[in-house]
Structure 1
Amino acid sequence: MEFVVDRMAGRRRALLAVLAGVSLIACSTALQAQAPATQRAAAAVNVSVPAGSLESGMLSLGRQLNLHLLYPSSLTRAKRTPGVSGALSPAAAVSALLVGTGLGHRFTGANTVQIFDPAAPATTGASGPAGAIALDTIEVQGQNLTATLQNDGLAKDGYRVSTISSLGPLGPVALKDTPFSVSVAPRELIQNIQAQSPDDVFKVNPYTRTQTPQASGWAPMVNMRGFTTYDTAEDGLRRSYSHATSLEDKERVEVMTGLSGFLYGAAAPAGMINYVYKRPTFERLNSVTLGTYGAGQAYVHGDFGGRIDDAGTAGYRLNVVKQGGGTAVDDQKIDRLLVSGALDWKITDRLKLEFNASHSKYDMDVPSSYWFFRAGVPHGRAPDASKNWSQPWIRDEIEKTRIAARLTYELNDNITLRAGYAREWLDRPVQDHTMNSVRTPGKYYQVAIRSGQTKNEFDAVQAFADVKFDMFSIRHKLTFGYHMYSDMGWGTPYSPNTGYVGPFPMTRPLHVREPAFPLNTTSPYKSGYVRNHNVVIGDQIEFNDQWSALAGVTYSRINTHSLGQNGLRAQPDYNQGRWSPSASLLFKPAPWLTLYGSYIEGLEQGGVAPDTSINYGTVMAPMVSRQYEVGAKAQLGGVLVTTALFDIEKAYEFEDLTRLYTQDGRQRHRGFEFTATGKVTEDLTVIGGLTLLDAKVEGGTYDGKTPMNVARVLAKLYAEYELPWMRSLFLTGGVYHTGRQWANNLNDDRLKSYTTLDLGLRYATQVYGKPLTLRANVSNVTDKNYWQNSYYLGAPRTVAVSAQITF
């Protein structure tokens, strides 16, 4: 075991050396003066683009001149270029490429060019009823994706996103061409709501609500469509769960609701959270933010990016965060460090390497306590969430180190090869927790647990090929390949606890002296692994401008191996697989409207019996889920509106009255979703949504009951209003409503609905010619106490302020 620990420490030292190198690049290049965009645009370069398809010409010219050409994909369809040849400036070359197409262009940066239709009203696209316009989807083929994502979903556009960076093996796709419910929290929204953890994003996102908060010390769990999941991906590379997730180095958070088996392999039917890392910028970026994430959590965040060489074939991005101080909860403190770097290298015109490395430490005093209630005891009124319902000496420490690389090779204009790999080392040297047991109304007992060191190693691999071809006038994009993820774990035999002490009154918490826990003389032991292997083939079919389809199938295999501290199998191995098909049909009766219907199946790893169960740690058998969905996506003015009707079923897992965690019956959720994102007027931005759920258990012990922790109604509205008489001053705020939930499987303890209010201000100005943004946000303005679900209290009132300067 000492060898394993030394080897992991060596890898981390090597990674820190890489991050130090990125830091040196950032510092040295930040000192170099950038040539003005006009000068670079005027330099003559020999180019050669043959006459033919405008789409192919765009890709070729972009590669030769290292330009990022941004344009709606509908603009290039059926258009041809006369070709370009000779020594020309980039501006002249683009103009020559567009001769006879009726299109115009403008440089929005030294290497970024926007292609547009001068005859289109307001924005590119066909007009529709009531001022509707076509979805201005950016073409994301080739190596334009980085620039596309960095310019997509900006605050000035109402956070309305056109492109999804990764839809499983399908890679980047237009949101309007996605036959699933997907929403995105882009970079500027994450910044403007001052989100420091996924919980802040889940609060604003129309589809999601937090099930297990990050402040609990456990991995964040999210609830979507009434189901819960830890499942996440990072840049499309899967993983089982993620502790202490940072957002400062993320470009966006993409949320897909519902089944994702065809796209991501074994996963819960709730959906998938994909965290997208920031990539290098081709224009100079230096940004420093000072602020507090609430109470005394002061922090500084530096975000630096730019090109390494004048040609822009290589670029860097560096994010550094240091945070420390108390939260809005008594005695709770967070001390956090993040160093995250990215390097991109355009090896050739068709070959690109992307590399990421990060290291983080997340230390917390007094993680939020877990509550559970004895059968027949109602939750009643929630206690004061700003109090420390744990103990002052409870601590949690998490250290993570991650490396990842992706390689993209465009063999030609029709074939693209993609590969990626990620590995993360997770070390938890300290992990104290408390659980509060309510056995009679108004009183609770408490157990404090001190666990020894545990570790995990996460791996993810993917290799895909995209092949575009036409057959009988039908366009195809065929994707096939392999992807996998695994979790190798080391457990601990050391887990002393205080035993339940109490009872204590729920009117105020009582704190006790830290007990003398026995000395830990043990070492972590290899506790086993979980692996998921997937072989996938999918076809994106375009019959004509109105009809398209997505069809595919994934063979997914789950392999689990569980060991006890004696090295013997703790339970039988599981090694089985199945095919998970998916089929969707899309119809566009108008350019601004997409209708779709889809069917998808998924394989899900069985749940793990929680701490409260008598069979704690037992892994349930894998489950098969099915989903039917119909929906619509419409661009109405500057607002993207989506609706969906869905029907999902899966095996029902629960803890019975004897505290045995088991599977029995089927869980079926039928529901309706509605979202609206974008600019209602020039001054008003909205992000809102409504989810209505009818969830039931069919068969088994709890036939006809509603599953616990499922809210029948979820309604949200976040808005920003720019004052017409004081431009650059924005009033911000949100109203978030969660309907009633059953707190147990018997349906005899119902949690009250709750509504919280957020308010804020944002002001953009300049200091010595440099952009300065001031932000202030108050969450839970009324300081409402509520049960977020049957296990956790909601967050108390929190005030966050920051100042960001860009230079």
Structure 2
Amino acid sequence: MPILLIAALAAEPAAATEALATAVDQAGERPLDEEIVVNGRRGFRTEAVQVGAFRNQSILDTPATIAVMPRTLLDAQGAVGLEEALRNTPGVTQQATSPITSNNFVARGVLMNARTNYRLNGALQVVNLSPIPIENKQRVELLKGVSALYYGIATPSGIVNVVAKRAGSRPVTSAYANGDAEGSYGIGVDLGRRFGTDGQFGARLNGYSGHIETPIDGVNGGRYMVSGAFDWQASERLALKLDVEHYWRDTDEPGSITLAAARLLSGVPDPHHRYAPVDAPYRTWSTNLLGRADYALATDWSLRVEGGLAASRRQRSRADFSFTSATTGPRTGAGRLSGNYTPDQSYRNEYVRGELAGTLPTFGIRHELLFGVARNRQVQRDQHQYSYTPVAQNLFEPVAIPFRSLVFAATPRLQPGSVNVDTGLYALDLAHVGERLLLIGGVRRVLYDTERDRAGFTLRAWTPTAGAVFRPSSGSSLYVTYIEGLESAGTAPAGASNEGDVLPPVTSRQTEVGARMQIAGALASVAWFHIDRGLDYLNAANLYVVDGRARHRGVEASLQGNVTPRLSVSLAGQYLDAIQRQTGVVAQNGKRVDNAPRWSGSAFAEYRPAPLPDLAVSAGAFYTGARYADALNSFRLPGYVTVSLGASYRVHLDRGGTLTLRVNGDNLADRRYWATGGANLYAGLARQVRFSAATEF
């Protein structure tokens, strides 16, 4: 598989396996819902990635650290959201918001921007202020590090890509129900078909609706999701795709503990406690629409055009607990809640991309060429935020405070809207020198404009990419890459004095050296990385600023797949040394970047005993090392391990159908830990037990 064939034909006839394989060879694009089958069960190994410039690329030929969580792994763990998916890749933490309401991820010590670092099908920027559902997703991918060539302005933490389920060669008719020990319940359907005389049409429909209960007292809600993924092989040359999804979620804000209050505690408070007022809302609505057309111009050249829209709205009430007295508060629990309510936050991402790709042989070297232009327009409307008069609360014995009893300020704080336009023109040359060596060279011209409250800035820059991949054998590869990029310093987070302010982009540089090797039915990877970037943090005045540089370097390793015919594993670990430099604050220079654990890792295994081939048992452990909540390293968040166990059993029904029963338990030791870093801390969730039943016909 060439390292990049971005504009390959998209859909394949699905009448038979041989026809499908032929279509894959002709189009240069493999179906991403293919699965490794071992003794009638699916394993964890994946063969291809879709994220960024590596779309439909063999993982062995991908010169970057990419973690792929396929549907089989997500099902084995009973995953219900991105948090459960990304815990399988090390170095991922959360910050500023409760995992109950939304995910604000950090990778390699760098915050993932909620409006630039999350993608649907490797393309559309989705807004992660509204939790992304995964019931209708075939896989979750995380491309770590700088990704400027293809994605333009984005933080060098990584790109999270969610890949939609699509109709394949096998018809899908599935219904399922799930729930947990807290009282949650939900039902869903998954239907997939190819039809037409030659299987030229495909449709995959998904729907889910459920009631949410959490381990936090009185924090509950509901959600639903509907989606459709449609394909049409209009002719031998033209293929069309359309994806649409809409999802809604309504939960309660549980309330955070301010960093000042957490400093006075001897440990993590009871994770069952809710501090926020009763019915303090966190509601989100999101709609994503993505269309794509692929046209084969000639044997070796093709054109891709795609565009889409991501729209999201949010209602949010914040509640932050602090002690009224630093002396008596930690002993009695007496404190107060302060916060605000934003009734309408509106975000919109408009996306369009056009690409021309083809092959050009010169003097025995085969060049895979890519020329493209992409434009992302982000719109954030003005927001009116209403603060409320602080009210009494107790950390150890929280009282129920009706949300309607709060006294809000008559005059709201205005957070001005903004419009950011990121336009990029890029070119990439992948030079295949013989069968074993690939040389990579590319550049992107960045044209970035932003407007905010009648003020803004314009930025023009070149961001180069270079690298090489060497294949010592058919089952191994070595690579080295150098990438420069521009990253948005992001938006000042909740709790900052300048909350909501958008900071200008800064430069980041990354070097990575890595190796991969097939071992039995698994793939082993190891990589060393070095990132130098502008440093953003909360300063002593509680302002979110960009000042100085940060150096993030470390080693990451993983093993994923089938180590024996009946044992599937997903193992990963990371060592990270993230240091602040040139900040202008003597006490801060040389300190570790906040919320960046030095050690982290995950281990998950599923075993299928030979005497009971329809039974699977699993176990996992997920470790996050000690990290600091603030830039001055004045408050240390202890490391922790959570342990998971699971089991599933498949019952064979009449006419070839199956019923799969599953149970999963997370944090079974009921470990107390801080789930987030930053100015506002949230306790990790207490023990959870989930169960599901899924039929497939």
- Give the alignment's TM-score, normalised by structure 1: 0.79
Residues 1:555 and 2:445 are matched in the alignment: yes
C-alpha deviation, 1:519, in angstroms: 11
Q: Does 1:627 align with 2:494?
A: no
Offset, 1:654: 1.5
Deviation at 1:158, TM superposition (A): 2.6
Choose which of 535, 540, 543 in structure 2 pairs with 1:652. 535
Measure, in 2, the Cα distance between the counterparts of 1:622 and 1:360: 31
Which residue of the partner structure matches residue 400 of structure 2?
A: 511
Aligned CA distance change for structure 1 residues 526 and 154 (closer, same or farther; 3 Å): farther
Question: Any idea what SS the aligned residue of 1:263 has?
Answer: helix
User: Within 1, Cα distance between the matches of 2:20 and 2:354?
Assistant: 29
Maintained 8 Å contact 2:278/2:402: no
Question: In structure 2, what is the equivalent of residue 362 of structure 1?
Answer: 249
Residues 25-44 of structure 1: CA deviation (Å, up to 9, x unaligned) = xxxxxxxxxxxxxxxxxxxx
Q: Is the 8 A contact 2:306 2:354 kept in 1?
A: yes
1:771, distance to aligned residue in structure 2 (A): 1.4
User: Letter of the aligned partner of 2:397 in structure 1?
Assistant: R
Write the distance in 1 (CA, Å) between the matches of 2:295 and 2:219: 48
Structure 1 or 2: more helix by fraction:
1
Shift of 1:467: 0.9
Aligned twin of 2:72: 188
Give the Å deviation of 1:67. 4.2
Alignment of 1:579-728 (within 5 A): 579-700=462-583, 701=585, 702-728=588-614
Q: CA deviation at 1:660?
A: 2.2
d(CA) in 2 for partners of 1:376 and 1:389?
A: 14
Distance apart, 1:308 and its partner CA: 3.4
CA contact (8 A) 1:547 1:586 kept: yes
- Give the CA deviation at 1:499: 2.9
Q: Displacement of 1:370 after TM fit?
A: 3.0
Distance 2:86 2:51 in 1: 19
1:133-187, CA deviations, whole angstroms, 9 ceiling, x for partnerless residues? xxxxx96762753xx211145684531111112423x532111111100111112
Specify whether residues 544 and 454 from structure 1 end up closer, same or farther in structure 2 by C-alpha distance, changes over 3 A only. Answer: same
> Mean Cα displacement is larger for which, 152-161 or 285-294?
152-161
* Residue 171 (1) aligns with residue 55 (2): yes
CA deviation after TM superposition for structure 1 residue 206, in Å: 4.1
> In structure 1, what is the Cα distance between the partners aligned to 2:220 and 2:495?
26
Q: Does 1:532 align with 2:532?
A: no
Q: 1:326 is matched with which residue?
A: 213
- Aligned twin of 1:317: 204
How far apart, in 2, do the equivalents of 1:144 and 1:596 lie? 22
Opposite residue 561 of structure 2, the aligned amino acid is G
Q: Tell whether the 8 Å contact from 1:476 to 1:540 is kept in structure 2 after alignment.
A: yes
Highest Rg: 1 or 2?
1
**Cα distance, 1:678–1:426 mapped onto 2, change above 3 Å:** same
Structure 1, 236-245 or 310-319: larger mean CA deviation: 236-245
Counterpart position of 1:422: 308
Q: Choose from 181, 185, 195 the match for 1:298.
A: 185
Could you say which structure has the greater relative contact order, defined with CA pairs below 8 angstroms and 6 or more residues apart? Answer: 2
C-alpha separation in 1, matches of 2:460 and 2:254: 38
**Aligned residue number for residue 481 of structure 1:** 372
- Matched residue of 2:676: which SS? coil
| Post-superposition offset of 1:358 | 1.8
Given that 2:380 and 2:418 are in contact with CA atoms closer than 8 Å, whether structure 1 keeps it comes out as yes
CA offset at residue 240 of structure 1? 6.5
Aligned position for 2:3: none
2:690 aligns to what? 800
Distance 1:625 1:375 in 2: 34
Answer whether contact 2:389 2:409 (CA < 8 A) is retained: no
Question: Residues 407 and 418 of structure 1 are in contact (CA less than 8 Å); yes or no, is this contact kept in structure 2?
Answer: yes
Counterpart of 1:751? 637
Q: Retained in 1: the 8 A contact 2:536–2:547?
A: yes
SS at match of 2:595: coil
Q: Is the alpha carbon distance of 1:141 and 1:254 closer, same or farther for their aligned partners in structure 2, counting shifts above 3 Å?
A: farther
Q: Deviations over 1:742-790 (max 9, x none)?
A: 1222222211110110000011221223111111100110111111233
Please give the root-mean-square deviation of Cα atoms over the aligned residues, in Å: 2.6
Contact 1:627/1:647 (8 A) holds in 2: yes
Question: SS of 2:492's equivalent?
Answer: coil
> Whole-Å Cα distance in 1 between the matches of residues 246 and 183 of structure 2?
24
Q: Is 1:289 aligned to residue 176 of structure 2?
A: yes
Residue 320 to residue 294, structure 1, CA distance change in 2 (3 Å): farther
Q: 1:294 to 1:255 in 2, by over 3 A?
A: farther
Q: Which residue of 2 aligns with 1:470?
A: 361
Matched, 1:406 2:292: yes
Q: Is the 8 A contact 2:96 2:104 kept in 1?
A: yes
Cα distance in 2 for partners of 1:413, 1:299 equals 48
Cα distance, 1:737–1:350 mapped onto 2, change above 3 Å: same
Whole-angstrom CA distance in 1 between matches of 2:257 and 2:289: 36
2:105 is matched with 222
- Which segments of 5 or more consecutive residues in structure 1 lack a partner in the other structure? 1-58, 69-89, 91-106, 116-137, 564-568
1:203 counterpart residue number: 87
Cα separation, 1, equivalents of 2:260 and 2:501: 22
> Which letter does structure 2 place at the counterpart of 1:576?
L
SS of aligned partner of 2:218: coil
Tell me, which stretches of 5 or more residues in structure 2 are unaligned? 1-7
Partner of 1:130: none
Cα distance, 1:505 vs. partner?
A: 4.0
Verify the 8 A CA contact 2:47 2:59 in the aligned structure 1: yes
Partners of 2:540 and 2:124 in 1: CA distance? 35
Please state whether the residue corresponding to 2:316 is helix, strand or coil. Answer: strand
State whether structure 2 residue 118 is matched by structure 1 residue 241: no
Q: State the identity as a percent.
A: 26
Structure 2 contact 666–689 (Cα < 8 Å) conserved: yes
SS in structure 1 of the partner of residue 150 of structure 2: helix
Letter in 2 for 1:805: T
Partner of 1:615: helix, strand, or coil?
coil
Deviations 1:387-433 (A, max 9, x none): 223222211221122221100111122001111111122223x3222
Partners of 1:711 and 1:354 lie apart in 2 by 41
Does the C-alpha gap of structure 1 residues 454 and 153 become closer, same or farther in structure 2, counting only changes over 3 Å? farther
- For the 8 Å contact 2:388–2:408, the answer to whether it is kept is no
In the aligned structure 2, how far is the partner of 1:140 from the partner of 1:625? 38
1:497 is paired with a residue whose SS is strand
- Equivalent in the alignment of 2:163: 276
Alpha-carbon deviations, 1:583-640, whole Å to 9, x = none?
A: 1111112222101111111101122223423333322221100111111011111110
> Aligned partners of 1:154, 1:184: CA distance in 2, in Å?
17
Contact 2:533 2:550 in 1 (8 A): yes
The structural deviation recorded for 1:801 is 0.5
Q: For residues 624 and 140 of structure 1, what CA distance do their matches in structure 2 show?
A: 40
Aligned mates of 1:182, 1:252 — CA distance in 2: 13
Return the alpha-carbon distance in structure 2 between the equivalents of residues 237 and 709 of structure 1: 29
Rounded Cα–Cα distance in structure 2 between residues aligned with 1:308 and 1:523: 55
* Cα 1:203–1:650 shift into 2, 3 Å: same
Choose which of 271, 274, 277 in structure 2 pairs with 1:385.
271
Question: Structure 2 length as normaliser, TM-score?
Answer: 0.91
Q: Distance in 1 between matches of 2:373 and 2:98?
A: 32
How many residue pairs align between the two structures? 670
Give the letter for the 1:180 counterpart: A
Cα distance between partner residues in 2 of 1:677 and 1:743: 32
In structure 2, what is the Cα distance between the partners aligned to 1:663 and 1:154? 49
In 1, the alpha carbon distance for the partners of 2:620 and 2:220 equals 26
Secondary structure of the residue that 1:680 maps to in structure 2?
strand
Task: Tell me by how many angstroms 1:379 deviates.
Answer: 5.3
